[in-house]
Each structure stands twice: as structure tokens, then as C-alpha cells.
Amino acid sequence: MSAKLLTLSNPFEDAERIANYVREGRFQRSLSLLTAATSIVSGLEVAYEHYRGSYSRRVMYTPVILSGVLAIAGIAAFFSRRAARTVLRLAAFVTLVDALVGFYFHARGVARDDHWLARLLPPRAGRELISEEQDVREGKFQRQVAIITGVSALLSGFEAYYSHYKNNFRYKAQWSPILSSFGVSRFA
């Protein structure tokens, strides 16, 4: 495959270039770097928001720490297929579990009892978190969830495309997760 850029003047040639990019593993390497970059940005955003809450709960440190771990894993996965299959998957799984715990706490308006993960972190400091309920009432939380859902759906669509591309789209039904993910990301 040549190093030509996509021209958009010949969609079939561009599609073939993209297919080669996916087939050769370059797409996955790009996704690893994208994971690292978005993890850093997300970690900074969470660090700022939790700083505003004075890190009143120890569990508020976990997404900040895990964003750094996920960024390092994404960079390692860019350079090593083995790291992509092991370290990146593990870091992503732990981050997902932590995100679900965080979603639970935010949906509850920040729980008053400590989570077991919080015991692993430094002691509680500062004042209590004011209230995330106001963000929920004003729609800020819903907008953030919609953006995250859209990006996740789009990336899931790319992953489904790659997986089904390897099977040459033997069944027409293999297009359904791809089309639905792009539909979800469009409306999110």
C-alpha cells in the first residue's frame, strides 16, 4: 500500500486503502494512540471536576489514576501487539469497571458511604462534594453521557467493521452492528 492520503475523488480506491490499513494492523495501532490521547484528556477533565469537589471521597482519585494507567497501556499497545492483547485490555476493563462505579455514585448524587476501592487510596480530605444533582437537573450530565455514548458507538462500529471485514462480510446481518452504531453516534 502506498503512503498516499485519501483523496475522496475516487471512493473505491480510498475504500481499498482503508481496508488495507485495517488489514495491516495500522488502524488498531491508531486506535491505541487514540485511546491514550483520550484517556489523558478525560483524566484531566475528571481531575478538574473532582478538584472542584475537593476530592471529598477517596474513590474520586481512581479515575484520575486509571486514566494515566490507560494512557500508558495505549502507548505500549501502539508499539507491541502483545501489550495490546494483554495490558491494554486489562487496563481498559479495570477502567470500565471504575467508570461503572463512578456512574453509580454520580447517579446517586455521590454516595455517603465509602466504596471498597476508596480504602486503597489516601484518607479523605476537604469538604463534602456539593452536589452532582444540580448537573443532572440542568442537563450537563445527560449531555456528557450522550457524547460518551456517541463516541463509544462510533468506535464500536469501527471494531465491528474490522471483525466482520476479516470474515469478508459473509452474512448480510454482519452489517447491522456497523450501521446501528453509526446511527447511534449520529443521534447521541
Return the sign of the alpha-carbon dihedral for residues 97, 99, 101, 104: negative
Do 113 and 67 fall into the same domain? yes
Do 61 and 149 fall into the same domain? no
The one-letter code for the residue type at 7 is T
d(CA 15, CA 96): 32
d(CA 168, CA 133): 48
d(CA 13, CA 6): 8
Let me know: does 128 contact 53? Beta carbons within 8 Å: no
Return the sign of the alpha-carbon dihedral for residues 126, 130, 136, 141: negative
Do 86 and 148 fall into the same domain? no
Do 124 and 146 fall into the same domain? no
> What does the pLDDT read at residue 129?
40
Domain with 172 in it: 139-188
Higher pLDDT, 121 or 75: 75
Do 101 and 154 fall into the same domain? no
> What does the pLDDT read at residue 66?
94
Find, among 64, 69, 57, 63, the residue nearest to 119 by Cα: 57
What DSSP state is assigned to residue 123? P
Give the up-direction half-sphere exposure of residue 112: CA atoms within 13 A in the CB hemisphere: 0
Q: Would you state the cell numbers that stand for residue 10, as one nine-digit string?
A: 475516487
Task: Choose one of 96, 111, 130: the last residue of a domain.
Answer: 130
Classify residue 50 as exposed, middle or buried by CB count within 10 Å of its CB (0-12, 13-18, 19+): buried
Q: Would you state the cell numbers that stand for residue 64, as one nine-digit string?
A: 484520575
> What does the pLDDT read at residue 61?
92
Do 94 and 51 fall into the same domain? yes
Q: Answer whether residue 108 is part of any domain.
A: yes
Do 66 and 146 fall into the same domain? no
What region does 127 belong to: left with phi over 0, alpha with psi -120 to 50, or beta? Answer: beta
Task: Report the alpha-carbon angle 166-83-151, nearest 5.
Answer: 60
Question: What is this structure's pTM?
Answer: 0.53
Do 163 and 116 fall into the same domain? no
Grid cell 476479516 is found at: 166
Count of domains forming the chain: 2
As a whole-number percent, the residues of the chain with pLDDT over 70 amount to 71
Do 145 and 166 fall into the same domain? yes
Q: List pLDDT tens digits, range 109-153.
A: 654 555 555 555 555 433 334 455 555 555 666 677 677 777 777
Find, among 162, 151, 134, the residue nearest to 185 by Cα: 151
Do 90 and 174 fall into the same domain? no
Q: List pLDDT tens digits, range 45-54.
A: 888 888 877 8
> What does the pLDDT read at residue 55?
82
Do 60 and 117 fall into the same domain? yes
Do 98 and 36 fall into the same domain? yes
d(CA 75, CA 11): 31
